[in-house]
Chain A
């Protein structure tokens, strides 16, 4: 027998026939098709029961009601909460990307202690006793007044606990970051003699005259303003935007009036002069409630006529007159100031001039007008027990603002501040002339950060006591003072803490308990939640039940005096921005973009993704300029240019945009972070590097809205 080709043929045919009538062929084809669709490294999100939990967002001061969708107990999506008095179903992009903060790349996992250039992990017990020991020693040495504390927020029980701690410790140096509401409060005090928050009833106003307020850029309570703007469009209300740059607010306004940056006060006074001259003011209101009316009339009639203000403001006399007539003849006119998002303190003279318009049309405490709301005082803590050390320390005067505190530290040789508590305030990013701030901080030998994230300021700290994110903690959150109604929202944990963090309220309670003397006695609560529940008193039921409590929703009594003597008394005290015009011929004005945060909170990866490629391209950010400006400089779209200001310099790309006034340079705020998160940081320039503080002679607050700059080609 010989194996020949037939055998092989038989073998081959046998194999084929066997394969044809047996399953592997068809089966493997099908399986392979499925196999090609398996991507084992692509995540398969786990399914489960869908639930919704309500809480309050505290990424900005808007404090919107949000609803967190959870799947099997795992948060997956954030949306607005229907029926919430602040946001009624709306949410902004930052709130919606809240889960990217919860799982943030720069979150601090546990308490940290500085060791040279790095941090080492320590336990909460060690961290608290370390801070307490240091503060005890300082106090025993009679240096209680050399402790300073800066909180990011101004109101609510967490800042209150820090404030209380500072008081019983015996230091006057408690500060919160200033913003436009600081200035509005000064206006209320100066022009009405009341201690009040100024709320704006935009919802019912029929004509809003805004002096650069970025009502659609994140001003005040952003989502509330978006809603009101949409309602205004439906109801036919008018918005007139005075601003040197075509912002989104100006784009959505019925009329855009570009005025030279920094001329808003003069423009407002010129509008006042027309109203006076043409007797368009509310005579009945002014007849009963006014001081300094005649002096004011004389001043504006002589100094601020439309004709005289034409060149100062860049607005024609006829436009000024039409602005005045449209405003004063409207059914419910309302004037508002606070540039951009209003995250910085404003120029008092400008705010007062704009508010003079409200006084002239008599809209104070009326529907569609300005409401002088009594400052929220819902928190009741037991009265502080003070000892001699505390009394003695408090005899010292505090500085008027964080800006002047930093200035004082920077100027002094031997540090007047030996320890600094920084509660969710990222001053190494958010303050003007940020390099100077960093240098000043280097002089403070002991800095404690209470941040959730390793931000620019936490990086400079000696001890970090990391905080829960807003989705992991309880907190009472008063609505933004610019809202006409006053609401307190409650933040509740929708997720168990992912890291070894604490509520900053708990952290300060623990530190206080580890302190000697009366300090511990002043913090009788076992934990922050007890303090919150007892402190909010009558509001607690509504807070814990609905998640918010409406404290007031009606206009206060109308009978409030309007004092216009400010201008005659303070005439000439004008805010100047830095830089000699001869050397620095352009004006750099940073602008706010809703899609980029510029507060202590860094934008999320989602938010950064939405930013236009004309604002960030690769690692570069852009400077907006009018085609005329670009022509003068000999640059075109995308070119790199160097911007020099008295505070610093930066290289950016040119964005040619018709909507900017010639001579003006616009740069987006909120870029150029240096945190360790490649998705959001090291993109573009932090405008705060380029801006120096401009101290308002009337208030001592840093009210810089820009700086003079020069530009050269690279």
Chain B
């Protein structure tokens, strides 16, 4: 465990996505691309190399017509805390270049593209496919370079990139707090671009440590189990890997909650009985 930062307040930023409200409209994906200078190519239909820090997956219940149901699942970077929430995220622990690192003051997993030399170990290690490799130099055709934001450094070919929970927005909120000589930033001062964009209000973002924040109230994270949700309708993806994601999902539908992990036959029922 690396040394704790002793100055300033520490947070554990997390996200809660209400899958029952998500309509799969794609606003979060585009808001993210626009906010984080994510480029685009002529053909983006090979989704393995189509860079989308936030990607919306479509789930189906597998039943035939007319019992079919679908559900959309937005997937940013899970900002895993790793086993015991000590910062041993799957990606951080394999990076040979310290290009990705766990921020103990925020719980955000960083990715510094210029430091990355493109070995892609982190991509192999990430169980959520949240990391993308730049196979080509990004291009902004025509005059599109003019809309790039100075808050996020554009990447180059040969490096990995991923969602940062819009860390630059946290930085901006902190700057404002410094200017106003405040120690703490307010809940509404730091919101990710996807949270802000979601027209259905399905995404909630805030400090999981702070009981007054909506994210905390929605999932009731269990501090004794690295933040496992105590809300029975909430779940995290691949919970049993103990990656300890900071992204939680909520759904009333059992099949959706079940889709959050791979269960052996009968396992789901047994688990649910145990947890009530």
Contact = CB atoms under 8 A, between A and B. Distances in A.
B196 A226 contact: no
A659 B65 contact: yes
A43 B140 contact: yes
Interface string A422-439: 000000000000000000
B219 interface: no
Nearest to B44: A609
Contacts of B40: 605-606, 608-609, 679
Interface in B77-131: 114
B57 to A, nearest CB: 9
A572 B95 CA distance: 72
Interface in A40-79: 41-48, 71, 74-79
Given A45-B150, A251-B70, A679-B40, A93 B141 contact: no
A658 interface: yes
A227 B149 CA distance: 28
A587 B151 CA distance: 50
A103 B142 CA distance: 7
Contacts of A660: 65
Interface string A109-128: 00000000000000000000
Nearest to A231: B201
Nearest to B152: A45
A92 B52 contact: no
A80 interface: yes
A248 interface: yes
A626 to B, nearest CB: 6
Given A75-B147, A658-B68, A594 B197 contact: no
Given A37-B114, A658-B60, A679-B42, A79 B154 contact: no
Interface in B58-86: 58, 60, 62-66, 68-72
Contact of A92 (B35, B46, B199, B201): B199
Contacts of B30: 93, 96-97, 606-607, 610
Interface in B194-217: 196-202
Given A45-B150, A498-B143, A594 B34 contact: no
Contacts of B52: 609-610
Contact of A76 (B71, B148, B200): B148
B262 interface: no
A205 to B, nearest CB: 17
B193 to A, nearest CB: 7
B29 A39 contact: no
Interface string A592-633: 001100000000011111111100111000000011100000
B29 A93 contact: yes
B231 interface: no
Contacts of B69: 246, 251
A369 B26 CA distance: 30
A43 B29 contact: no
Number of chain A interface residues as a range: 35 or more
A659 B60 contact: yes
Contact of A678 (B25, B29, B42): B42
A232 to B, nearest CB: 10
Contacts of A251: 24, 69-71
B34 A97 contact: yes
A90 interface: yes
A659 B156 CA distance: 41
A74 B148 CA distance: 9
Interface in B160-182: none
A208 to B, nearest CB: 15
A224 to B, nearest CB: 9
B10 interface: no
Contact of B156 (A39, A230, A679): A39
A104 interface: yes
B154 A93 contact: no
A201 to B, nearest CB: 19
A43 B37 CA distance: 10
A658 B65 CA distance: 5
A616 B45 contact: yes
B137 interface: yes
B186 to A, nearest CB: 15
Contacts of A39: 137, 156
Given A99-B147, A659-B60, A229 B23 contact: yes
Contact of A105 (B34, B70, B142): B142
Contacts of A697: none
A655 B149 CA distance: 38
B31 A79 contact: yes
A660 B21 CA distance: 22
B271 interface: no
A246 B46 CA distance: 25
Contacts of B199: 80, 87, 90-92, 222-223, 226-227
A77 B149 CA distance: 8
Nearest to A48: B150
Contacts of B146: 74, 103
Contacts of A606: 29-30, 33-34, 40
Nearest to B33: A606
B56 interface: yes
A556 interface: no
A661 interface: yes
Nearest to B46: A613
A49 to B, nearest CB: 11
A190 interface: no
A548 interface: no
Contacts of B143: 103, 498
B250 to A, nearest CB: 11
A79 B195 CA distance: 11
A488 B143 CA distance: 32
A47 B143 CA distance: 17
A386 to B, nearest CB: 46
A252 interface: yes
B129 to A, nearest CB: 14
B60 A79 contact: no
Contacts of B155: 42
B68 A47 contact: no
A216 interface: yes
A606 B37 CA distance: 11
B58 A612 contact: yes
B226 interface: no
Nearest to A662: B65
A229 B44 contact: no
Nearest to A218: B25
A607 B149 CA distance: 19
Contacts of A610: 26, 29-30, 52, 56
Chain B CB within 10 Å, residue with most, of A71, A96, A611, A613: A96
24 contacts: A45-B145, A45-B149, A45-B154, A80-B196, A90-B27, A93-B29, A96-B30, A97-B33, A97-B34, A99-B144, A100-B147, A226-B23, A230-B21, A246-B69, A246-B70, A251-B69, A258-B66, A606-B33, A618-B45, A627-B64, A628-B65, A658-B60, A658-B62, A658-B68
Interface of A: 37, 39, 41-48, 71, 74-80, 87, 89-93, 96-97, 99-100, 102-105, 216, 222-223, 226-227, 229-230, 233, 246, 248-249, 251-252, 256, 258, 498, 594-595, 605-613, 616-618, 626-628, 658-662, 678-679
Given A46-B150, A613-B46, 6 more contacts: A45-B148, A87-B199, A248-B23, A249-B23, A256-B66, A658-B63
